A and B are shown apart, each in its own frame.
Chain A
Amino acid sequence: MVRRGILVGGLVLALTLPLLAAAFGLDYVVGIATRILIFALAGVSLNLILGYGGMVSFGHAAFFGTGAYVVAILSDHAAAGIPLFTWPLTVYGSDMAIIAWPAAMAVCAVLALIIGAICLRTGGLYFIMITLAFAQMLYFFFVALEPYGGDDGLSLVGPSRAWPLDLADDRQFYYLILSLLLFILYLMRRLIASRFGLVLRGIRENERRMQAMGYATYRYKLAAFVISGAVAGLAGALIANHTEFVSPSFLDWRRSGEILVVVIMGGVGTLYGPVAGAIAYLMLEEVLSRWTEHWMIVLGPLLVLIVLYAKQGLWGTLEKMSTKR
């Protein structure tokens, strides 16, 4: 009951937030909420492989940042009117959301297929290190990418065009992202309950057993990795629209760590955990960083407490408490 109450209450709050913000003259809150939703989406994508597949990726920012770059680069070419490349066929840039966002997802899916195909040959600690290594390689790739700003990053002329919406309008952008997050959460829920989801959870529980039962576990893990990469790419496309600026720091290992923290704080392997984690993490950042720039000093111990005393994270603990009743 508690769980349901919080879900319904949260949804109502999320739906009415821009109106409330306007009523209280706190319009900047909409921007913060938008950022929270985008990080929640990134967390949801990581949670699929981390929480349900048992794959601890420490390089998820690679997909997040690449997704952001795809939108920025396509928009850059569209603004300049220069084709992206002319061989073997001419491809122009685009500042339309309907083209750029799926393109970001597609590029990240292909990237995840390549990175995953290699990383998933290992497991455990090695998997953590090799995903980190790939993310760092991509980080330095974008640092070296001088035509697109290199180290300095790349500014967007404006957010993507998404007729009939105007994404420069904070409220419309917020509602679009809220709908996208809800839609992805719905898809995740279906996925986790499906045959594929059951196999994925089985692999997390005992991979050797699953192989003995006849599952080619590598293929299922790789498929989950690709889906996860694509969704992280979508989150990246959204953050590029939100900040209207991208830089290699989007792919930094600290960003990967942040996404991990969002998932762990919220609850690994719970559907709504990453959303709860994103809210908690970014609110803490918002409040504490006003108080001191060394806000990590407070976050660190808090994270330790959560890991020690509420292993299932905020949402996981809540779910556990409500099932006990």
Chain B
Amino acid sequence: MSAPLLRITGLRKAFGAVVACDGIDLDVAEGEVHALIGPNDAGKTTLIGQLAGEIRPDSGRIVFRGRDVTPLPAHTRAARGLARSFQITSVLPGMSALDNVALAVQAHAGHSFRFWRPAGDETAVREPAHAALDRVGLALRATVPAAMLAHGEQRQLEIAMALASQPRLVLLDEPTAGIGAEESARMVTLLESLRGDVTMLLVEHDMDAVFALAERITVLVSGRVIASDTPEAIRGDTEVRCAYLGEEDA
């Protein structure tokens, strides 16, 4: 078997006396949709922060595409093909939806120390940006400032921004958080349509979404991986049921 796209070994991070991640080992294979679930305070957000490069781990290694990225800052990891969406919607509010996505394309299309030519004239940037908006169903909202979009649309915009950078791996931090059932279903359909094109590591509380999307599920409890398996196996795992799924059923 070839090396996984992402390999995490012995990742540990403590904030004072609170151990958020307590020696996490995790592999994400190329092409898979991998869900990360666990109760609150399980360390999911801290783990995503460390993967994205915003939080420095105390120890452990993160290997992405065969290279150790542990000491690299967020922007360098992004340049290597690691895109992300945020738990709390994070867009560029004052700029149009198209500019939001165009910036994501531009980040991976040569340097941006270009001071003369209008960015709006660059078809090599604008066309992929339009395509990404189209893919998430926001084609008609291209000129609307991101702040004026509905919350669900902003979440879609985040996915478009992540896609536009043609990433190898997308970290999706609760893509359905804070949106209604209908919009949530649309988001699941959207993510479903991306399967096979891009590898996804998905943090999600909505179990319907998780079992609809994931090919592999890792369960995190108190900063430790207690199970990592197929959805069927996870569903049948008694330890997981006790620790986590039981709460959902109650």
Q: Report which A residues bind B (CB closer than 8 A).
A: 190-191, 193-199, 201-202, 204-206, 208-217, 220, 223
Contacts and interface: CB of A to CB of B under 8 A. Distances in A.
B69 to A, nearest CB: 13
A190 B118 CA distance: 7
A217 B93 CA distance: 18
A191 B112 CA distance: 11
Given A202-B103, A214-B165, A195 B74 contact: no
A214 B165 CA distance: 9
Contact of B75 (A193, A197, A204, A217): A217
B90 A208 contact: yes
Interface stretch (B94-102, B180-188, B209-217): B94-102
A193 B102 CA distance: 13
A299 to B, nearest CB: 29
The SS class assigned to the A binding surface is helix
Contact of A215 (B86, B107, B114, B122): B107
List the 8 closest A-B pairs by CB distance, nearest first: A214-B78, A205-B92, A214-B107, A195-B114, A193-B118, A214-B79, A195-B112, A198-B119
B161 A198 contact: no
Contacts of A209: 86, 90-92
B112 A199 contact: yes
A195 B119 contact: yes
Interface string B78-90: 1100011010001
Contacts of B165: 213-214
A116 to B, nearest CB: 15
A205 B119 contact: no
Nearest to A208: B90
Contacts of A199: 103, 106, 112
Contacts of A197: 115, 119
9 contacts: A194-B118, A195-B112, A195-B113, A195-B119, A196-B114, A197-B115, A206-B91, A212-B83, A213-B78
Contacts of B74: 211-212
Nearest to A190: B116
Given A195-B117, A213-B83, A217-B75, 14 more contacts: A191-B116, A195-B115, A196-B113, A196-B114, A198-B106, A199-B103, A199-B106, A211-B75, A212-B83, A212-B84, A215-B103, A216-B73, A220-B112, A223-B113
A202 B120 contact: no
A194 B94 contact: no
Nearest to B161: A213
A202 B118 contact: no
B6 interface: no
B108 interface: yes
Given A202-B103, A206-B93, A211 B116 contact: no
B200 interface: no
Contacts of B122: 195
B220 interface: no
B123 to A, nearest CB: 13
Given A195-B119, A196-B113, A223-B113, A201 B95 contact: yes
A191 B79 CA distance: 24
Contacts of A220: 112-113
Contacts of A198: 99, 102-103, 106, 112, 119
A213 B90 contact: no
B104 A213 contact: yes
Nearest to A199: B112
B52 interface: yes
Contacts of B92: 201-202, 205-206, 209-210
A80 B103 CA distance: 54
Most B Cβ at <10 Å: residue of A201, A206, A217? A206
A209 B103 CA distance: 10
Contacts of B99: 198, 202
Most B Cβ at <10 Å: residue of A210, A213, A215? A213
Contacts of B119: 193-195, 197-198
B93 to A, nearest CB: 6
A204 B75 CA distance: 16
Nearest to B80: A214
A128 B91 CA distance: 25
Contacts of B118: 190, 193-194
Given A214-B78, A215-B75, A194 B116 contact: yes
Contacts of A196: 112-115
Contact of B52 (A201, A206, A210, A212): A212
A216 B79 CA distance: 10
B179 to A, nearest CB: 19
Most B Cβ at <10 Å: residue of A195, A199, A206, A209? A195
